[in-house]
Amino acid sequence: MLALLPQAIIDGVLLGGIYLTVAMGFSLAFGVLHIIDFAVGEWIMLGAFIGLIFTKWLGVDALLSLPVVFVIFAVVGWLLQPLLHRVLSGSRGRPVLMGLVFTFGLALAFRGSALTVFGIFTHSLDTVLSQGSWHLDWGPFFLTVPLIRLAGLVYALAVILGFNYLLKRTDFGLAVRAVAQNKEAAGLMGVDVNRTSAAVYGLYVGISAMTGVFIGAIVSLNAGMGPDLSIFAFFVVVLAGMGYLAGVPWAAFLLGLIQSFFLIYFNPSHVLLALFSILYLILLISPTGMFRKGV
Amino acid sequence: MQRRGWWVAVVLALALGLSLAVGPVLAADEFKIGVITSLSGDLATGGNVTKRGYDLWGKAVNAQGGIQIKGKKYPVRLIYGDDQSQPAQAASAAERLAVQEKVDAVLGPYASGMTLAAAPVLEKYKIPMITGSAESPLIWRQKFRYTFGTIPPVNFTGSAVIKTLAALPGGPKSAVIYGTNDAFSKATAEAFQATAEQVGIKVLKFNILPPKQDLTPLMSAAKVLKPDLIAFGGHDEELINLVKVLTQLDFTPKALLMHYGVTEPAFIQALGKNANQVLGASVWTGSMQTKGTLGWPTAKAYADAAVAEYPKDPADYTQAACSAAGLVFQAALVQLAAVPPLDEAARTKLVEILEKIDLQTFYGRVKFATEGDYYHSNAGLTPLTVQILDGKERVVAPAESAQTKLSYPMTPWNKR
């Protein structure tokens, strides 16, 4: 079974790539805006459906819908953020709790609307990459890499590197980091906190929506897919350390690799047990995430 | 403070008055039949198959004016409870239908797990339930007095396909078998495994998986073993995902058998040409030569009526079994000759009638077993092997019912 080792690793990394796409926007939103957005799974789901509509309407490849989906949802996020801000900094007390309730309510509203508008059926997004795969044969080892999953990984890494560049090398990124550190002080330093926050939220929603297109192509999409994705986003971000964006890829790959190895080499019935045992063990030893840099 | 208290008292008094005025109805002029099924959640596709079946029966019986009891016709009102694909909600829906809606009978859920959750509740309130969809033998082993099913357990249906494959010249010699860990899927996978071992197909790998796992690592592992047959027990969405994973990994086994979901129209719609040559199990198709003494006269008549009502969703055997479940209640209620609403004594008598009923329908013969491992299930039907060919479900075995030859081995994905 050693022959399967490269495949197990690749499968794990590709699975981690999927988890990364789901968790990266969520981590950004928490790290900068301190919002735990329960609706992350629903943003992904809506992005997938808009991608589906666009693809079916124009008869084009699903991946071509990515820029359209990003723009639409970035605008939606930009417009929604002030409302979120009102809830979070409201005079009603317990702003963090209200934020959770608000995003949870958003999630329910989106899910219900999607069920009503799009129905209960599961769909699949077709792309030119959907059935392609790379085969590598070398001695006893062989590898099959599904192209669409590879595309998902490339997308995830591109976004993470893009974030890194944005945050470290641009003025906008400087403003974002200032807001994340201390909103009031940032405002005093001349940063337009409202605009910056709206832009970050818009970015997060746009990225999550694009993720939806990939998930729809790699796996499938239906109106109820949100909650499971939200839960996984949560796990990845907690493992990485809440607010520590740089830890998210490592956490995502770790979870993907654990799952992949367990499914291939051990009894698959126990994969969830293994996954959560390791998760809890890590958190027991290091409650602020695997790099001890979380909130 | 006093003002607010005064208003609360007024509102409460009004509410009490209104509820008393509406009050209990002494006699009903309709039969209230509760329906518990998955209208949302992961199993919603299957749940809607059952909904179509039950609705078709409801419409047909009401088109005739209703069920005739003592010279008067009583229409049937279907009251839906959504189990949201969760057993806890199934039990909750059963409770609500029994206590609040006070239904006379219940038509049962799509998924065996839901049936297992709702059955004890209905047993407590002594409300008979017939489900058109439960295939897990676990249900019948519990020997619920008030629960019946019109489909035989998956040990019958599932094993027939494996036997058909084994009998093929040059048929599969090895298999990898997976099943999701729920009441139905696990039983299906176990039935596949037991039969495979019986007929000499070597089972290279057998695993029961937690639901919603990513199947890529598993299928990568299976690919190495080069099995002739991949058999999978699961529900709709998982089956679609499995085919997608196999196409992504570019691995085409010689035969792919999955249950339950292959016979649903959504399967073919989602996968297009990749659905072709996939094998499934069934106990009924619209081409069968059955004759019904109640309701639709032939299988074809039902199939045509179903397509007329739901043009995009041709009826499969689960939908047919659900309509048949309605017909069984209809026949039993006529025999009971009791006027609605049915009290506990009447419902218990209904159960006794159901145990003795022997009805020929468009779906086949319905006669519930009254003892043994398959207590209260309809174990007398002939299992069929079906295959998707040219985007349509075709019967390929047994020989007496076959419409065409079984296509084996499968054409590789990238050559389609």
| Nearest residue to B39 (alpha-carbon basis) of B75, B77, B79 | B79
* pLDDT tens digits, one per residue of B237-283: 889 889 989 998 889 999 999 998 898 888 888 888 999 999 999 99
> Looking at residue B178, which CATH number applies to its domain?
3.40.50.2300
Kindly report the nearest CA distance between residue A294 and chain B, in angstroms.
28
Shared-domain flag, residues B347 and B266: no
* Residue B317 included in any domain: yes
Smallest CA-to-CA distance from B52 within B381, B325, B354 is with B325
Q: How far apart are CA A51 and CA B385, in angstroms?
A: 38
Find the CB nearest B181 among A135, A259, A269: A269
Tell whether B251 is within 8 A of chain A (Cβ): yes
Distant-in-sequence, close-in-space partners of A173: CB < 8 Å, separation ≥ 6: A165, A166, A167
Chain B contact present for A272, CB below 8 A? yes
Is residue A1's pLDDT more than 80? no
Rounded average pLDDT over A218-229: 89
In this predicted model, what pLDDT tens digit does every residue of B313-342 receive, in sequence order? 899 999 999 999 999 999 999 999 999 999
The 3-state DSSP class for residue B233 equals: strand
Residue B154 token pair:
């998956």
Reduced to 3 states, what is the DSSP secondary structure of residue B206?
Answer: strand
pLDDT score of B23: 46
Q: Is B166 part of a structural domain of the chain? A: yes
Q: Which of residues 356-415 of B touch A (CB under 8 A)?
A: 413-414
Which of helix, strand or coil describes residue A62? helix
Q: Would you say residue B232 has pLDDT above 90?
A: yes
Same domain (yes/no): B129, B252 = no
Q: pTM for this structure?
A: 0.82
Residue B278 and residue B397 in one domain: yes
Q: Residues B287-304: what's their mean pLDDT?
A: 93
pLDDT digits (tens, 9 = 90+) for A147-181: 999 999 999 999 999 999 999 999 999 999 999 99
Q: Are residues B184 and B205 in the same domain?
A: yes
Q: Is the pLDDT reported for residue A265 higher than 80?
A: yes
**CA dist B296 to A2, A34, B75, B264, B272, Å?**
59, 62, 18, 21, 31
Domain that holds residue B401: 155-282+383-415
Q: What are phi and psi of B104, to 5 degrees?
A: -85, -30
Domain assignment present for B339: yes
Q: Is residue B178 part of a domain?
A: yes
How far apart, in whole angstroms, are the C-alpha atoms of residue A176 and residue A6?
40
State how far the Cα of B264 lies from the Cα of B236, in Å rounded to an integer: 8
pLDDT tens digits, residue range B164-190? Answer: 999 999 999 999 999 999 889 999 999
CB-CB under 8 Å, A131 with B216: no
Looking at the complex, does the CB of residue A260 fall below 8 Å from at least one CB of chain B?
Answer: yes
Average of pLDDT values for B124-146?
93
The reply to whether B16 falls in a domain is no
Residues A54 and A69: beta-carbon distance below 8 Å: yes
| Residue B323 and residue B180 share a domain | no
- Residues 6 or more apart whose CB falls under 8 angstroms from that of B25 comprise none
Task: Provide the angle, in degrees to the nearest 10, between the axes of the packed helices A248-265 and A271-285.
Answer: 140
Q: How confident is the model at residue A128, as a pLDDT?
A: 85
Helix, strand, coil percentages in chain B from 3-state DSSP, rounded to 5: 45, 20, 35
> Which pair of tokens denotes residue B115?
């049936």
**Coil vs helix vs strand at B162:** helix
Percent of the residues in chain B that have a pLDDT greater than 90, as a whole number? 71
Over the stretch B70-108, which tens digit does the pLDDT of each residue have?
A: 999 999 999 999 999 999 999 999 999 999 999 999 999
**A269:B240 CB<8 A:** no
Q: Min CA distance, B189 vs chain A (Å)?
A: 13
Clarify whether residues B145 and B159 are in a common domain.
Answer: no
CB contact under 8 A, B251 and A144: yes
User: Are B37 and B145 members of one domain?
Assistant: yes
pLDDT digits 0-9 by tens, B355-389:
999 999 999 999 999 988 889 999 888 899 999 99
- Residue B128 phi, psi (nearest 5): -70, 140
Q: What is the rounded distance in angstroms from the CA atom of residue B4 to the CA atom of residue B279?
A: 68
State whether A271 and B213 contact (CB < 8 Å): yes
Q: What pLDDT sits at residue A129?
A: 85
For all residues of chain A together, what is the average pLDDT?
90
Task: Kindly state whether A187 is in contact with chain B, defined as any CB-CB distance less than 8 angstroms.
Answer: no
Question: And the tokens for B6?
Answer: 């005064």
If you measure CA to CA, which chain A residue comes closest to B224?
A: A4
Out of B210, B220, B247, name the one closest to residue A11 (CB).
B220
Residue B218, in any domain of the structure = yes
Burial A43-66 (b: 16+ CB within 10 A, else e): bbbbbbbbbbebbeeeeeebbebb
Q: What is the pLDDT at residue B104?
A: 95
Mean pLDDT calculated for residue range A229-252: 91
Same domain, B173 and B209: yes
* B349, B394: one domain: no
Report the alpha-carbon distance of residue B131 to residue B147 in Å, rounded. Answer: 8
Residue B5: what pLDDT?
75
Cβ distance B248 to A272 less than 8 Å, yes or no, reads: no
**A263, B240: Cβ pair inside 8 Å?**
no
Chain A residues within 8 A of B414 when measuring between CB atoms: 131
CB contact under 8 A, B217 and A264: yes
Q: What is the pLDDT of residues B15-60, one digit of tens each?
A: 776 655 554 545 678 999 999 999 988 888 899 999 999 999 999 9
Name chain B contacts of A269, Cβ cutoff 8 Å.
Answer: 181, 207-210
Helices (H) and strands (E) in chain A, counts: 11, 2
How many angstroms separate the Cα of A205 from the Cα of each of A202, B32, B358?
A: 5, 47, 59
Give chain A positions within 8 Å (CB) of B236: 122
pLDDT of residue A60: 87
Domain count, chain B: 2
> How do B229-233 and B174-180 pair as beta strands?
parallel
Percent of chain B's residues with pLDDT above 70? 96
Two structure tokens written together for A158: 């591109």
What 3-state DSSP class applies to B198? Answer: helix
What is the distance, to the nearest Å, from the Cα of residue B348 to the centroid of all Cα atoms in its chain?
24
Q: Is residue A272 very low, low, confident or very high in pLDDT (cuts 50, 70, 90)?
A: confident
Asked if B216 and B78 sit in the same domain, the reply is no
The backbone torsions φ and ψ at residue B175, rounded to the nearest 5 degrees and listed phi first, read -145, 150
pLDDT in tens, A95-154: 778 888 999 999 999 999 998 899 888 888 888 888 788 888 877 777 889 999 999 999
pLDDT in tens, A63-79: 999 999 999 999 999 99
Residues B135 and B231 in one domain: no
Q: What is the CA radius of gyration of chain B?
A: 23
Tokens 């025999």 -> residue: B335
Does the pLDDT at position B8 exceed 50? yes
> How far is residue A57's CA from residue B391's CA, in Å, rounded to a whole number?
23
Query: Residue B130: is it exposed, middle or buried by C-beta count within 10 angstroms (0-12/13-18/19+)?
Result: buried
- The rounded radius of gyration (Å) of the Cα atoms in chain A is 19
Please indicate, yes or no, whether residues B218 and B185 belong to a single structural domain of this protein: yes
Contact assignment for B217 to A120 by CB distance below 8 Å: no
Contact present, A254 and A260 (Cβ < 8 Å): no
Q: Could you tell me which chain B residue has the CA closest to the CA of A4?
A: B221
